[in-house]
Amino acid sequence: MTAKSFTPADEPDDAPPEHRPGPPRRILVVDDEPLIRQLYTEVLTDSGYKVDGAEDGAVAWDTLQKQRYDLLITDNEMPKVSGMELLEMLHAARMNLPVIMATGTFPKEEFNRRPWLQPDITLIKPFILAEFALAVDEVLDANHLVRAAAIPPAHWHVQPVANRLRI
């Protein structure tokens, strides 16, 4: 029996994170409760993601200035800088980063006033970890497809404008 070798193009988009080509996706988890932060980190690390944690929005913001992430998971009510304030900072800095807000208090009024701050998904605590893992995969996969669609395939050739204009 011959083993088939796969190239990255052969790898299905719905493959588990540990079987996807390239480096593991990086996630920043922000929650002021150490046990919650640890639980999220363990679930995500076991799923093949590279995970860092921050105890509040201020630490998260500093971390985001130093490291690139594929996803931000944040609580809302935290000391120093809340999840909403962190979303405001991301928006003001024009950081294009998908966000999951995992919170016990949904800031509906604030999102009604500023809908552009809405995260990709909001999970209201308590929720089951399978729902959490599914939300992470869903947001990362959707973001990956959007980025892939924005980049033309390598075999595309774009003619210079002068060559396309026939007068």
How far apart are the two ends of the chain, measured CA to CA in Å?
Answer: 61
Residue bearing the bigger pLDDT, 107 or 161: 107
Distance between CA 7 and CA 44 in Å, rounded?
A: 25
| pTM for the model | 0.75
Distance between CA 117 and CA 22 in Å, rounded?
A: 30
Q: Where are the domains of the chain?
A: 23-164
Tell me the pLDDT tens digit for each residue of 5-64.
333 333 444 555 544 556 789 999 999 999 999 999 999 999 999 999 999 999 999 999
* Residue in the structure block whose two tokens are 């509040």: 56
Residue 85 identity (one-letter amino acid)? E
Which residue intervals of the chain are DSSP H helices?
34-46, 57-66, 83-92, 108-113, 129-150, 161-164
Tell me the pLDDT tens digit for each residue of 118-143.
999 999 999 999 999 999 999 999 88
23-164 is a CATH 3.40.50.2300 domain: yes
Of 140, 138, 122, 137, nearest to 47 (Cα)? 137
DSSP state of 81: S
Backbone angles phi, psi at 87, to 5 degrees: -60, -40
| Mean pLDDT computed over 111-121 | 94
CA angle 46, 144, 50 (to 5 degrees): 25
